[in-house]
Structure 1
Amino acid sequence: MSRLFRDVDGGPRCPHGSVVCIGAFDGLHLGHQALVRRTVERARELDLPAVALSFEPLPREFFARSNPPPRLLLPRAKIERLLGMGVEQVGLLRFDERLSNLSAEAFARVVLRDRLSAREVWVGPEFRFGKGRAGDIALLRQTGRELGFHADEIAPVELDGDRVSSTRIRAALRAGDFATATRLLGRPYAIGGHVVHGKQLGRELGFPTANLRFGGKTPALSGIYASWVHGVGSVPRASVSSLGTRPTVAGVEPLLEAHLFDFNGDLYGRRIEVEFVAKLRDELKFPDLDSLTEQMHRDAEQARAILSAQVFVPEFHSSSTSFRLSAPL
C-alpha cells in the first residue's frame, strides 16, 4: 500500500485504528514538529499507525486562487519530511469544491472515522475545520465522543514570547532574516527539487545554473541570495542563487536558478536542495544583458565573500525518504 493517499473516499486505510494529526504543515516548523512528535509517540504507545492529514492545495490557496499566499514547503518535500519523522501514512487530501463544502461534522465522520478509523486525533492551537471554518477543538472533541475517537490539542510552541507560526517565518524571509527563520523552523530554510532544463541563457553569459521550478506555487522569497547547494557530492557547494521571474529576459513563472561556484558537472534530473544564507539584493530589470552580466559578477563576488566567512553546519541535510505516489501531486 502506498504511504500517500489523496482521496476522501476509498475505504478504510487503517482498519484497526490510527492516531491522526491534522494541519497545513506549511514549513513543518517547530510547532508542527511538536504536533507530529506527539502523534507518533501516541501511535507507538497504542501500537497503531500514525497518520498526518493535510491538504493540496492548501485551503487558503484554494480560496485565493487569483492571489495565492506564499508557500514555504512544496508538497513532495512536506511528504518526505513527515515520513522522515515517523509518520506511516500521509493524507494529502485534494482540497476542492466538495471538500470545502463538507461540514465539520461530516469531515469527522467521512475522513476521520470512515477513512482512517481514528482512535485519537491531535491538532495544534487555534485549529479550525469544516465548511466556513465552523469547527474548533470543542466541536472536534464532542464529535469524537459521538464517533468513537478522542481529540486533543497540543500546547502552543513559543519562541521569544510569541507563538511559532508559518506567518512569522514568511515575515522573517521577506525581511531577509534567515537567522530567525532558522530558529523558527529548527533548520535552515531551503527549497528542494529536481534540476530541470532552462533556456541556458546563464551558460551563455558565463553563469550556468541548476534550475528548480516551484510547482505553480508562490514562493516566499524573491531576489538574489548567497546559498549552499546540497546533493552535489559529499559536501555542500557554495553558490549564488536567483529566485524570481527574470524580468530582464521577460520571464513569467517563478524559477530558482543556482550558480555553483567552480563547478562544471551535469546536474539535470538530480535532486538538490538550495539553502538560503543571505539576501544580496532584490530582483531588478536591467536595460541590457551586458548590464545584467556585470551585476551577476558583483553578486557572485559578494556571495563568495559571505559564504567563505560562514562556518558551515554539517548536520543540515536533505530528507531522502522514499515513497510511492498513488496519484500525481
Structure 2
Amino acid sequence: MSRLFRDVDGGPRCPHGSVVCIGAFDGLHLGHQALVRQAVERGRALGVPSVALSFEPLPREFFAPADPPPRLQLPRAKALGLFGLGADQVGLLRFDRALCSLEAGEFVRRVIVQRLSAREIWVGPGFRFGKARGGDLATLQEHGLRHGFSAHEIAPVQLDGERVSATRIRAALQEGAFGDAARLLGRSYAIGGHVVRGRQLGRTLGYPTANLRFGGKRPALSGIYATWVHGLGQPRASVSSFGTRPTVDGIEPLLEAHLFDFDGDLYGRRIEVEFVAKLRDEVKFPDLPALTVQMDRDAVQARALLARTASPEPTPAPACADLSQETASR
C-alpha cells in the first residue's frame, strides 16, 4: 500500500491504530517540525504508524482562487518533507467542495476514526477544521471521548519572542531577508525540481538557464537573486530570475537559474536553487538589448556577492519547494 493517500473515504489505512498530526504544513518550518516529530515520537511509543494529515489545495487557495496565498512549497515537496521528518504515512486530502462541506463531527468519523483508527491526535495552536471552521481542539476532545482517542495541542514554537509561522517566512522572503527565513525554517530556502527542455531564449542572450515552473501556484517571492545551485556535485554560483518575465510578456511565474562558468547538459537533472540575496525587482525593459545590459550587471553583482559567501552544503529536502514534474529549461 502506498504511504501517500489523497481520499477521505476508503478502507482502513491503520487497522491497529495510529497517531495523527494535522496542519497545512506549508514550508515545514520549525513549528511544523515540532508537531510532526511529536506525532512520530508518540507513534513509536505506542507501536503504531504516525500519519501527517494535510490538504491540497490549501483551504485558502480553494476559497480565494483569484487571490491565493503565496506558497512556500508545492505538494510533492511537502509530502517528501513530511516523510523526511519520520511520518509513516502522509495524507494530502483533496480539498474540494465536498470536503469543505463536511461538518467537523463527520470529518472525525470518516477520516480520524474509520480511515485512520486514530489513538491520538496532535494539532498546532488555534487549529480549526470542518465546515465553516466549526471544529477545534475541544471538538476533537469531545469526539475522542466517544470514539476512544485523545487530542492534544503542542505549545507554539517561538523565535525572537514571536510565534514561528508561514506568514513570517513569506514576509521574510518577500523582503529578501533570507537569513531570517532560514532561521524560521531551520535551513536555507530553496526551490528544486527536474530540468527539462524549453524555448532556449536565454541561450540566445548569452545566459542559458535551467528553468523551473511553480506548478500554477503563487510563489512567495519574485525578482532577481544571487543563488547557489545544488545537485551537480559541488554547489554552483548562479544568478536567478523568479517571476513572470514582463519584457517577453510572460504570464506564469518561472524560476530561471543561470550557472556561472558552467557548460553542460542539465536536461533531466534534478537541481535545487538556494536563494542567497535579492538584487532587484522585476522590470519591464523596452527591448531585449536593454534587458541583456541589465542581465550583465546582475551577473557581476551576483558573482561579487557569492564570492563573499562560503559555498554551502546541499539544502536538505524539507526546505525545498520541489517542482518535479513541473519544470522546464531554456
Shorter-normalised TM range: over 0.9
**Residues 1:125 and 1:45: Cα distance change in structure 2 (over 3 Å):** same
What value does the CA root-mean-square deviation take over the aligned residues?
1.3
SS of aligned partner of 1:284: coil
Partner of 1:256: 255
Partner of 2:287: 288
290-299 or 263-272: bigger deviation: 263-272
Q: Is the 8 A contact 1:230 1:317 kept in 2?
A: no
Q: Is the 8 A contact 1:230 1:318 kept in 2?
A: no
142-151 or 285-294: bigger deviation: 142-151
Q: For 1:67-116, what per-residue CA distance to the aligned partner results, in whole angstroms no more than 9, with x for missing partners? A: 11100011111111111111111000000000000011111111000011
1:175-254 maps to which residues of 2 (within 5 A)?
175-233=175-233, 235-254=234-253
Partners of 2:49 and 2:225 in 1: how far apart?
A: 41
Q: Give the drift of 1:198.
A: 2.4
Partner of 1:325: none
Residue 268 of structure 2 is aligned to residue 269 of structure 1: yes
Q: Give the drift of 1:193.
A: 1.3
Identical pairs, percent: 73
Partner of 1:19: 19
15-24 or 264-273: bigger deviation: 264-273
Q: Is the 8 A contact 1:196 1:213 kept in 2?
A: no
Q: For 1:146-181, what per-residue CA distance to the aligned partner results, in whole angstroms no more than 9, with x for missing partners? A: 111110010000000000000000011111111110
Q: Is the 8 A contact 1:18 1:120 kept in 2?
A: yes
**Residues 1:319 and 1:157: Cα distance change in structure 2 (over 3 Å):** closer
Partner of 1:154: 154
Partners of 2:154 and 2:14 in 1: how far apart?
A: 23
Partner of 1:324: none
**Residues 1:60 and 1:231: Cα distance change in structure 2 (over 3 Å):** same
1:77-116 maps to which residues of 2 (within 5 A)?
77-116=77-116
SS of aligned partner of 1:7: coil
Q: Give the drift of 1:289.
A: 0.4
Q: Give the drift of 1:266.
A: 1.1
Partner of 2:134: 134
- Listed as ranges, the gaps of 5+ residues in structure 1 are 321-327
Partner of 1:50: 50
Partner of 1:323: none
- Listed as ranges, the gaps of 5+ residues in structure 2 are 320-325
SS of aligned partner of 1:8: coil
- Aligned pair count reads 320
292-301 or 192-201: bigger deviation: 192-201
Q: Is the 8 A contact 1:129 1:136 kept in 2?
A: yes
SS of aligned partner of 2:142: helix
Q: Is the 8 A contact 1:70 1:219 kept in 2?
A: yes
Partner of 1:298: 297
Residue 35 of structure 2 is aligned to residue 39 of structure 1: no
Flag as ranges the 4+ runs of structure 1 deviating above 6 A.
Answer: none
SS of aligned partner of 2:144: helix
Q: Is the 8 A contact 2:187 2:316 kept in 1?
A: no
Q: Is the 8 A contact 2:78 2:318 kept in 1?
A: no
Partners of 2:141 and 2:197 in 1: how far apart?
A: 50
Partners of 1:292 and 1:201 in 2: how far apart?
A: 13
Partners of 1:318 and 1:133 in 2: how far apart?
A: 31
Partner of 2:60: 60
